[in-house]
Amino acid sequence: VLAGQIVDTNAAWFASTMMEQGIECQRRVTVGDRLEDLVSVFTERSQHADIILVNGGLGPTSDDLSTQAMALAMGESLVENRIWRQRLEDWFTRSGRVMAESNLKQALLPESAIMIDNPVGTACGFAVKFNRAWLFFTPGVPFEFKQMVHEQFIPFVKQHFEISGDVALRKYLTLGQGESSLADTLEKIKLPEGMTIGYRSSMPHIEVKLFARGIAAIDQLNKAEAQIRFLLGNAIVADEKMSLAEEIHALLLNSGQSLSVAESCTGGMIASQLISFSGSSSYLHQGLVTYCNESKVKVLGVKPETLDDHGAVSIATV
């Protein structure tokens, strides 16, 4: 992640999921695979946070250091969890595979750790109490992580902390205006106490976030939303969606309508975005990438004189 080779989609998903539970994430820290850095972060943050979710570093290889770092920070030994070792052996037996010696590392937990089940993977989750914080460890594999958040982490948080849930978030995906232009337009709205507007740039989109904290502010959400829609008009292209492709997918799925796509400069990106959603085959018939002018004429029937007069990159050609 720190080298830029992987985008941390887990963090974005987690923050959004927690917000739905009425929990605001206060800080996000990305740490490399260095033992001393992990020990330092666990020690420092555990003195300030109530709960820390640690994602990744529970695998069988030498660069998976989260468990070892936690034990070092606490001054504890790593001990084998017999229940998880048996789970590992059973998992490999069912899969018809020979378990590598390195996998036994995944059954080692800090001495005071509470084992947390991972129902869909070999990495054992665990929780420890250190200084003022609970640290909750999950694997980095997205589908394992997400299932554990829903089935183990959220119930764990609710068991140990009182969550009021008096927060609400609405998100509007916009297209065609820059962040500063949107801010200039929306600053005309007089927001009640406890309500804020935020922005997230993900070009070519800007996401506008309307956040309310407290019952009084939540009660005013519809009024504030009406003002946002009036001021932005058709610049809003989707609600509660991450992309325009997700909105198109939602509109077409189970609609009985179909879609074919002709692309040029986008090189198939539109079709690629749509097929990433399950069920898109029910409406997406075909995608053509007519990159050169000759293919635009031959395959799509664009008139040669249109290309001559206006060029390939023009509204007339579109």
Local confidence band at 98 (pLDDT 50, 70, 90 cut-offs): very high
What's the whole-number mean pLDDT along residues 105-134? 96
Confidence at residue 164, expressed as pLDDT on a 0 to 100 scale: 67
CB atoms closer than 10 angstroms to residue 10: 21
Length of the chain: 318
What's the whole-number mean pLDDT along residues 109-129? 96
Let me know: does 157 contact 163? Beta carbons within 8 Å.
yes
Residue bearing tokens 């407290």: 214
CA proximity to 138, closest of 29, 52, 58, 35 = 58
Query: Above 80 in pLDDT, residue 163?
Result: no
Q: What residues have CB less than 8 Å from 306, skipping those under 6 apart? A: 316, 317
What's the whole-number mean pLDDT along residues 64-88? 97
Which residues are 288's β-sheet partners? 262
For the chain, list the strands marked E by DSSP: 51-55, 78-80, 108-110, 114-116, 125-130, 133-138, 167-175, 195-202, 205-213, 236-239, 259-263, 284-289
What's the whole-number mean pLDDT along residues 100-126? 95
Torsion of CA 199, 201, 206, 209, to 10 degrees: -30
Local confidence band at 165 (pLDDT 50, 70, 90 cut-offs): low
Which of 5-19, 50-64, 186-200, 235-249 comes out lowest in average pLDDT? 5-19
Instruction: Confirm whether pTM is higher than 0.85.
Output: no
Let me know: does 135 contact 128? Beta carbons within 8 Å.
yes
Mean of pLDDT over the chain = 94
pLDDT tens per residue across span 237-275: 999 898 999 999 999 999 999 999 999 999 999 999 999
CA 314 → CA 32, 293, 318, distances in Å? Answer: 46, 12, 6
Q: Are strands 133-138 and 125-130 parallel, antiparallel or unpaired?
A: antiparallel
Domains of the chain: 9-160 (3.40.980.10), 167-242 (3.30.70.2860), 245-310 (3.90.950.20)
Confidence at residue 242, expressed as pLDDT on a 0 to 100 scale: 85
What's the whole-number mean pLDDT along residues 26-37? 95
**Rounded Cα gap, residues 261 and 270, in angstroms:** 8
Local confidence band at 1 (pLDDT 50, 70, 90 cut-offs): confident
Q: In angstroms, what is the C-alpha Rg of the chain?
A: 25
Query: Above 90 in pLDDT, residue 12?
Result: no
Let me know: does 214 contact 205? Beta carbons within 8 Å.
no
3-class state of residue 166 by DSSP: coil
| Burial 187-223, CB ≥16 within 10 A → b, else e | eeeebeebbebeeeeeeebbbbebbbbbeebeebbee
Given its phi and psi angles, is residue 64 left (phi above 0), alpha (psi -120 to 50 degrees) or beta?
Answer: beta
Query: Above 80 in pLDDT, residue 117?
Result: yes
Query: Above 70 in pLDDT, residue 229?
Result: yes
3-class state of residue 31 by DSSP: coil
What's the whole-number mean pLDDT along residues 55-72? 96
Let me know: does 148 contact 125? Beta carbons within 8 Å.
yes
